Amino acid sequence: MAEVKEETQKVNPDKVEFKLEKDTELRFEVENGANVVLELSAGQAEIFGAELTKNKKYTFSSGFKVAVFTWHGCQINLVGKTEVAYIAKDTPMTMYLNCHTALEQMRKKAEDDFSIRGPRVMIVGPGDVGKSTLCRLLCNYAARLGRAPILIDLDVGQTEISIPGTMGALSIDRPADIEEGYALNAPLIYHFGHKSPSDNLKLYNLLITRIAESVSLRCESSSRANISGAIINTCGWVRGGGYQAIVHAATAFEVDVILVMDQERLHSELSKDMPNFVKVVLLPKSGGVVERSKIVRRDARDARIKEYFYGIRNSLYPHTFGVPYSEVTIYKIGAPALPEAMLPLGVSAQDSRTKLVPIQPSGALRHHILSVSSANSTEEIVDSNVLGFIVITEVDIDRKIFSILSPTPGPLPRHILLVMDDIQFMDFK
Amino acid sequence: MAARYLRAEELGSNIAKFCSPDLPQGSGLKSDEPDGSWLQAKQIDHYHRERKELLNEERVQVSKTLTKAQWDPVAQKVEVISKAMHQFWKVMGHVEEGRFWLQPEEALFLMDEGVVEIYHGEVPLSLQQAYGMFLNCSTLPPERYQVYSHLCRLGYIVRRHVPACGLRMTTAPKVDDEQMKEESSESTSQIKRKLSESDVDTKRIKESTTEECVVDQTAKLSVADAWSPVPKDQRVCKKSHSWNFAEINFPDLSVVEDKVMTLPSLPSDLLPSGISRDEPTKYRPNRYKQPAEADASDQMEFSCDAFNTSPVENASNWQEWKTQSRHKCNNALVDLVHNGKTKPLVDSVVGDSHQVLSRLQIFKPLILPEKSEDACTPSSPVSPVFDVHLPNANFKKTNPGTPDLRVCVYRQSEMVPDLSQIVKLSELYEDNVLLQWAVVDNGDVAFYSFNQIDLPVDLTD
């Protein structure tokens, strides 16, 4: 790596002062079980595009990876245990900023001319290259200029706008909070049910189409959203079916720009397969991105779910109540595929992956996460968005009652629940 | 008939000519096609002359052997007045109300053979007159007579088909023509009623489909409403736009060859507050060449262009691209196949195997009507015309027995009867008498029959 690492005094529980020059970045990780308090004492700085307020204390809990960037130089104080903390001089931030200005130019054109739609940009790349970070950066910069772009998160495993196993869209009208992330006002969430698109690619593509329809309706109804455009985050699966899904998403959302992070192969493939009027750009990844192991990813998913119910600093208090079996109907989307040879002539096996499978109440449902579908009838389920999530904490087989953990007090707003196939949550404090 | 007298030698040659058993050979289909050659013109001319001569031939018969008969225009039959002895009486004619009658085709044939002299009123009919009078599209179409005479000349005993004979119905009532007509009209009206019923069905289906469509739309709207309850802004442009990326400058690592990339200064109105980029900055990408991945699909090169699905070239926005690529996707391989001389039987069908199979099926699957009462009546539009018996010295007109063949007559220009009619007809009779379909093509008679065969079946144990 070309970074010039300025290793500072490690493991100093006391206050550490960093002086950042122009266009440099302070990167640090919070040690496990520790908290780090950050304070900007002089100059201007931002974290993933969100500006820091001077002399305000920001607390980061364990596992957080933070990069503080400054365009003009600043001074930062850190208090707490950091795993590593260093200042990097070579960052691709200028590249990202240039991307933003290009998008902003397009937004300006759309603003002036009603026959032009705002830019729709899709960010693709393999895992752990900073796709979500770039999305956040672009969203924050746009929001800081008063835009309201739509963030679409197709990364079902590590989604930033809801819990894992879902995909959806969120309208951004102010920069994401430095500690808490995006302001989740009325996100549109769809139930996918798996942590990887490969588990049900058919459903994945179907939901992409559905979200694209909703987004275009949103753009039709609001000219601000239309001008601001959309920022689409994808998952890190870029081969085979994953690549097909990317192409499908690009077509469904009718993207104008594709930002490819750090993979020339993907860049050349997309330049070949995309129409001429789509700009495919190769961008470098930041030297600061850290590869996340499977365990880290799993922990991140758990944390995400815990955050949904309990809030970031255990600030929320979810409700626990009993729901009789008879009050809910539980489904799973996607039956195992049948070989075509086993079917009668002329019956296609195509739709089995989006078929509803009723689930009988049983003890196996314990610790499973269920989405509360907004659908009123069975036919609408696959196409309907999700109202919220619950966890079945206990199943009382004798009394035929589920104990559920819910963010709101009972009763449930709808009776149709969709079970997440491989995403569970143990409710231990 | 003949008003003048013939000399002995004339008479002899006449009889010899007339009694020669062969008719001049008819011409096949092929020789009717004119090729404008001298030879063909000659042949045609010869053929015509031969016919003419033959028709002009005076037919000489011994007056003692001539049977006299009277044409009854009301009954459309011929009544025999004085009967001379002849072998034909064994197999032809029938007795009704004590009188001996000939069917018009029988009379014509016998007249042609020189057995009968037919009077209309007081005047004997010439052959030409007889043909003109007896051949009649409703009672005796010409092709029916052609089949009749053809079979008779071959020596078969041909009778008008008796509908009741060999019917599956155990108590076969004597069905006369009027009854038949009534029944047929009844059955057609039934068919009509059925048709109108089916019309109603399709209407119902249409209604239901529209209902479904409506439901679908509302469902979509409800999803959208959940997220965007804002009233619609009419000024919003839905269409994707073709951007001029020469003006809009995205930093692209893939086009940079140098080690250092110069990024331009940025106008401050595009930047969030607190950020400024007044002078160009240099960015040194830490690029490393990714090791060439040994991916089999990358190295394979197909010689066939169809596999290299190149993107649609001349689309300027997504709408165009989508329609074009859909078209391309449908046609990429199909075009290739269609370029050659031999074309596939199923063309450009993109669908499931069921569709392809139904396309390949020249014969549509037949839904036979249930064996109801009308299946037993011989009132279907197709019915045999003649019962044919093999030459038999012991043949009795009053008790002909089971015929050896039943013959239906068709003109070549007529539509082939559909399978349901054929099956229905063959189910009508319980005896295994072969049903022949005589097809008359410009005077040539060809016989066809349907055979039952067993299709190969997979053995299962």
pTM over 0.90: no
Q: Is A133 annotated as a binding residue?
A: yes
Measured between beta carbons, which residues in chain B are less than 8 angstroms from residue A44? 274
Q: Is A128 annotated as a binding residue?
A: yes
Q: Is A131 annotated as a binding residue?
A: yes
Q: Are B102 and B161 in the same domain?
A: no
pLDDT on residue B347:
58
Burial B378-412 (b: 16+ CB within 10 A, else e): bbbeebbbbbbbeeeeeeeeeebeebebbbbbbbe
Chain A interface, best mutation among B221, B245, B277, by max A CB count within 10 A = B245
Peptide bond into A411 cis (omega under 30): yes
Q: Do A267 and B254 touch (CB under 8 A)?
A: yes
- Tens of pLDDT, residue by residue over A36-83, are 899 999 899 999 989 999 999 998 887 788 899 999 899 999 888 888
Q: Do B263 and A98 touch (CB under 8 A)?
A: yes
Chain A interface, best mutation among B218, B237, B317, B361, by max A CB count within 10 A = B237
Residue B124: beta bridge partners?
B119
Residue type, B165: C
> Given a cut of 80, is residue B430 above it in pLDDT?
no
Q: Does any domain span residue B91?
A: yes
Q: Are B105 and B130 in the same domain?
A: yes
Q: Are B376 and B450 in the same domain?
A: yes
pLDDT confidence tier of residue B165, bands split at 50, 70 and 90: low
CA atoms within 13 A on the CB side of B131: 9
Q: Is A132 annotated as a binding residue?
A: yes
Which of A115, A121, A114, A111 lies closest to A141, judged by CA?
A121
Q: Are B136 and B162 in the same domain?
A: no
Q: Does any domain span residue B304?
A: no
Chain B interface, best mutation among A54, A257, A276, by max B CB count within 10 A = A276
- Tens of pLDDT, residue by residue over A222-233, are 888 889 999 999
Q: Does any domain span residue B356?
A: no
Task: Determine the residue of chain B that is closest to A261 in CA distance.
Answer: B253
pLDDT on residue A281:
92
Give A226's DSSP letter. Answer: H
Which of B69, B64, B137 lies closest to B103, judged by CA?
B69
pLDDT on residue B422:
79
Are B157 and B91 a contacting pair, CB within 8 Å?
yes
Residue type, B425: L
Q: Are B161 and B95 in the same domain?
A: no
More confident residue, B147 or B269: B147
* A214/A206 Cα distance (integer angstroms): 13
Q: Are B373 and B450 in the same domain?
A: yes
Range of lowest pLDDT (B12-26, B123-137, B201-215): B201-215
pLDDT confidence tier of residue B433, bands split at 50, 70 and 90: confident
Enclosing H/E stretch for A306: helix A294-310
pLDDT on residue A80:
85
More confident residue, B209 or A270: A270
pLDDT on residue A349:
58
Q: Does any domain span residue B84?
A: yes
pLDDT on residue B357:
72
Domains identified in chain A and CATH numbers: 16-91 (2.60.120.1030), 93-283 (3.40.50.300), 295-338+351-424 (2.40.30.330)
pLDDT on residue B367:
67
- Write the residue in B226, B240, B313 that is nearest to A256 by C-beta: B240
Please state, in angstroms and as integers, the Cα–Cα distance from residue B48 to each residue in B44, B55, B347, following that order: 6, 11, 49
For A377-421, give the DSSP string: SGGGGGG--EEEEEEEEEEETTTTEEEEEESSPSSPS-SEEEEEE
pLDDT on residue B330:
65
Q: Does any domain span residue B96?
A: yes
Q: Does any domain span residue B110?
A: yes
More confident residue, B150 or B249: B150
Question: What pLDDT tens digit does each residue of chain A (429 aa) get?
Answer: 444 444 444 445 568 889 999 889 999 888 877 888 999 998 999 999 899 999 999 988 877 888 999 998 999 998 888 888 899 888 888 889 999 999 999 999 988 888 888 899 999 999 889 899 999 999 999 999 999 999 999 999 888 888 999 999 999 888 888 888 888 778 899 999 898 898 888 899 999 999 999 998 888 888 888 899 999 999 988 888 899 999 999 999 999 999 999 888 999 999 988 888 899 999 988 888 888 888 888 888 888 898 889 887 788 889 999 999 988 999 988 877 667 677 666 665 556 778 888 888 888 888 899 999 988 888 888 888 899 999 999 899 899 999 999 998 878 888 899 998 888 888 765
pLDDT on residue A234:
93
pLDDT on residue B199:
42
Which of A93, A258, A2 lies closest to B287, judged by CA?
A2
Q: Does any domain span residue B331?
A: no
Range of lowest pLDDT (A172-181, B41-50, B108-117, B233-242): B233-242
Measured between beta carbons, which residues in chain B are less than 8 angstroms from residue A188? 226-227
Are B391 and B155 a contacting pair, CB within 8 Å?
yes
At which residue do the structure tokens 């699905």 appear?
B309
Q: Is A25 annotated as a binding residue?
A: yes
Q: Do A94 and B281 touch (CB under 8 A)?
A: yes
pLDDT on residue A204:
92
Q: Are B71 and B108 in the same domain?
A: yes
For B332-401, give the DSSP string: HHHHHHHHSSS--SS-S--S-HHHHHHHH-SSPPP-PPP--HHHHSTTSS----EEEE---TT--SS---
pLDDT confidence tier of residue B224, bands split at 50, 70 and 90: very low
* A165/A370 Cα distance (integer angstroms): 10
**What is the overall mean pLDDT for chain B?**
70
Range of lowest pLDDT (B224-238, B309-323, B442-456): B224-238
> Given a cut of 70, is residue B82 above it in pLDDT?
yes
What is the CATH classification number for the domain harbouring B87? 3.40.1170.20
- Tens of pLDDT, residue by residue over B93-110, are 888 888 888 888 988 898
Q: Number of structural domains, chain B? A: 2
For B417, the domain range is 157-172+369-454
Q: Are B445 and B376 in the same domain?
A: yes
Task: Determine the residue of chain A that is closest to B242 in CA distance.
Answer: A277
At which residue do the structure tokens 């005076």 appear?
B58
Q: Does any domain span residue B411?
A: yes
